[in-house]
Structure 1
Amino acid sequence: MAVIFYARVSTAEQTIEHQRRQAEAAGFQIDRVVADHGVSGVTTALADRPEGRRLFDMLRSGDTLVVRWVDRLGRNYTDVCDTIRQFMRQGVVIRTVINGLTFDGATEDPMQQAVRDALIAFMAATAQANAEAIKEAQRCGIALARSADGDAKYRGRKPSFSKDQLTTVREMLERSSGIGEIVRATGLSRQTVYRIRDDQGAAQGALARWGA
């Protein structure tokens, strides 16, 4: 029974190695890494990615598929739900690094199945909603930057955080880290972390408006 880690990166700022280190730090002993580079999780289904499609042939009953979070499988609600359910039908266990979630098809109890399926649906919906919020913020930022009035006075206050800091805050929030822990890890003020937590789309938009 193999433990296969699947990673996906869509931008130059993300790295496969970073995702793998997170998994190993969480205690996963990985037998093999499968990764897609520069592939969108919004527009490209897992089965349509060069490496993602290999998972459907590679994984066997009893194997464990590890991902950083469900958004690595995709950011489309239907695709993520269908993918996880298909793997479960194959006898594959899906585990996430963030939040330590486990999805498998072992239970035959209807109530447990209902709770499991509801959680899968919620996580898939969250992945899509986050992607749409980020995309909208980026679109607004680009439109403003291209407009005739897109000078500094219309961009608002320059963000007090960098792209890397925003990424770290998001990752730690997904792991349900406390505000104090995030402050220590990023060097940001508590007020800044609260602002990011309360409106991640606006935080992304602020960076986009300032070309970050």
Structure 2
Amino acid sequence: MRIAYARVSTDAQELHRQLDALEKVGYDRLIEEKYTGTKKDRAGLQKLLDTLREGDTVIVESISRLGRNTLDILSIIEELDKMGVTFISLKENMDTTTPTGKAMLGMVAVIAQLERDLIAQRTKEGLESAKKRGVKLGRPQLDEQKIQDALKLYDEGNHSIKEILRLTGISQGKLYKEINKRKLQD
């Protein structure tokens, strides 16, 4: 089955240009979506993936319709490949059944890997730089006095949990954790 996928980012945008291009090449089913490509969890994309079977073909007007960043686009195309689904992008003239299409996919994969490596390198450098400047990484430690105040208010029994959280600024999970910790010690 040839399944066409068309996406724009907002309700204000129209799909006409994509639909015209897709109709020229033909398809058996169309999945349309008006949702940002910055999110990988999209209803239309999930519907597409759920619909696909081995031997099917996905056709898009442009590879950018799958997502906004190279890593997401590549992971979607790789997922299609693992499913035994052919991918065709009209604008980029990419067809994963052809040697040229497979080569283009390989180049996209290399670029995506480079992007992943650069992100990891920048993250590592940023963390090292922060440590050198004395920045403490990780979750901030709660003030022990706040915890003791919250437990005291809890023990008094005159305040609701919501009030205790509001007055002390600690989280509900932390309060219950400390209450349970005391129970285990008794």
The TM-score range, normalised by the shorter chain, is 0.5 to 0.7
Q: 2:57 aligns with which of 59, 64, 69?
A: 64
Distance 1:91 1:74 in 2: 20
| Superimposed CA distance per residue, residues 59-98 of structure 1 (whole angstroms, 9 cap, x where no aligned partner) | 1111110011111000122211111001011110010121
Distance 1:90 1:117 in 2: 17
Query: Who is 1:141 aligned against?
Result: none
Query: Who is 1:32 aligned against?
Result: 29
Q: Give the secondary-structure state (helix, strand or coil) at the position aligned to 2:43.
A: coil
Distance 1:103 1:19 in 2: 20
Q: How many Å apart are 1:3 and its aligned residue?
A: 0.6
8 Å CA contact 1:95–1:101 kept in 2: the answer is yes
Report the CA distance shift for 1:124/1:67 in structure 2 as closer, same or farther (over 3 A): farther
Q: Structure 1 length as normaliser, TM-score?
A: 0.47
The answer as to 2:118 corresponding to 1:118 is no
Q: 1:85 aligns with which of 78, 94, 102?
A: 78
Report matched runs for 1:15-164 at 5 Å: 15-25=14-24, 28-37=25-34, 39-42=35-38, 44-45=39-40, 48-104=41-97, 116-120=105-109, 122=111
**Partner amino acid for 2:5?**
Y
Distance 1:14 1:124 in 2: 32
Gaps of at least 5 residues in structure 1 are: 126-212
Distance 1:117 1:53 in 2: 24
Q: Structure 2 length as normaliser, TM-score?
A: 0.53
Equivalent residue pairs, number: 114
User: Structure 1 segments of 4 or more deviating over 2 A?
Assistant: 11-14, 112-116, 119-125
Report matched runs for 1:164-183 at 5 Å: none
Identical pairs, percent: 29
Q: How many Å apart are 1:115 and its aligned residue?
A: 5.6
Query: Who is 2:3 aligned against?
Result: 4
Report matched runs for 1:186-197 at 5 Å: none
Distance 2:69 2:36 in 1: 10
Q: Give the secondary-structure state (helix, strand or coil) at the position aligned to 2:27.
A: coil
Distance 1:73 1:17 in 2: 17
Q: How many Å apart are 1:122 and its aligned residue?
A: 4.8
Which one has the largest radius of gyration? 2
Q: How many Å apart are 1:33 and its aligned residue?
A: 0.7
Gaps of at least 5 residues in structure 2 are: 115-186
